[in-house]
Structure 1
């Protein structure tokens, strides 16, 4: 009760039939049957009753609107609740001279509701993504990334066969092996082929719908930016020379090949790149 009124708007009105109001809330039927009960000296009738179904409440929790779901699952449609917490000691003898390391005292904590915790414990899927997206890496000649452990000798690492293999170089080899690959650009390639990390090779795809996305490169990156532009047009190359070959002519650089392809005749590619980066 606030200022003599119930904040839940009781007592309600007598209603013959259950309806839904304009805000999506149910207006339950309340019979005017003349029955009352005395509580603390106050006569109460059906206008004071909170509608409920005892059997359903014991077994189910039913929702008919998104706002109720958000409440039950701690706003699952929003981000997780977060809290900034710090720990410190006080009441020491020499408290004034204690140094405070703010970095070590700062913790970015995350709150998980009981519903979300149970969902994760049972290993249910948190979200779905369809179709799957494959990120396609690429590199200039001799600049493929090499992954190694801290304790490994660099001379031994360089001698590994995997150093000369990458997803991008595997694309060249697949174009030599499969005739269907000759008609696909690099971004279209995952729709028909799948990359196997262990053998480090591309194989024909047997199932699933997949799309490819080439890594973004800013215009100021130089050679690799022009290489990325050409990858959107060149189909079935088997080497870097094939990428730089336009209409049977081998150009000395990727930039000249872009001009020959007509990609850099105007500022459209630069404008598109700036807009993509801004988004």
Structure 2
């Protein structure tokens, strides 16, 4: 913590400070996983039909059930990320495709970060400041989009924080709008060209500083985006005079050539001058770029073909390292999670501060889907027999029970049940009032 009139020497240790933060969070996470491991025998899980069969045939279920599971309540676990992916797909099923996909990256040159650095420090020495400022920027960005309606009224949204290796934190955001963005409105919202330095010098400075990809390719084959000799981000893009619909779900934004009024800049790549034109510009929103002065990639989603990829990409989680190591128990989910865990200093500090990794609106309620007697049963050695005699009630079994006695419920499908019953109740209340 930063306290006035008190010099915290830990904040001056640079790389040792980073190592300290990673070690401390590793201890915190290890303790949480140890608690889950030690309580596996107290809380077991199995399908009800299998538990009933074990009781009827063997009479002893002390060794039954999966003994080592990593629940979805553990933030960052595979089940946790899978649930958020399914939540995103729920938004798609209910509201349709998202309108905008935004990637917002922390800028270490923000004034709020630079002002808090101690003499001689760089932003990479103080990831605690980076985390706090970026958290404030994310809240400001979402408030800007939702409350100020910069793209129109927002129907729903979700975002996920990521850290790639030792890179800065960045957030992936999906936005669903009440009124869809029409194809002829794309050029008014998203730009992929170098701005005019005379007309808007501030925007020109932000774009050439934060929104130019690479350059990569033959001039810089060691660029991180290069895979098998090609740019994985498909730069440079094709120049086109008008925005057209792409085949992969993204449109081909207007990138005019020199014949159509293209502007170019000259950058240094490995000591050599390289001319950058509009084909290297990352799509951006002028309003967001000028407001937050950071890398803020804005993409328009115009097809359902890329929706599953986008929803999985937003919730894919942090990087993991793979080892040629055989776990003692192939069913031990906690061990499998720990042996491949990759934690950088940025993520460690973010998690120590208890900042959220995922946020969304509106909330999604998970309803059970299972075969007959296939619901999950959570039991302890003390209540195994009682659980086997009385199967637990789930939302699906309750739905079938209501349909047997309520004709109105039989006209609804499973996913329509909550809103359908709520509308009927409101209608009955209004009828009584009238």
Task: Report the TM-score, using the length of structure 1 for normalisation.
Answer: 0.31
Q: Which of the two has higher C-alpha Rg? A: 1
The structure with the largest helix share of the pair is 2
Structure ranking higher on relative contact order (CA contacts 8 Å, 6+ apart): 2
Task: Report the TM-score, using the length of structure 2 for normalisation.
Answer: 0.21
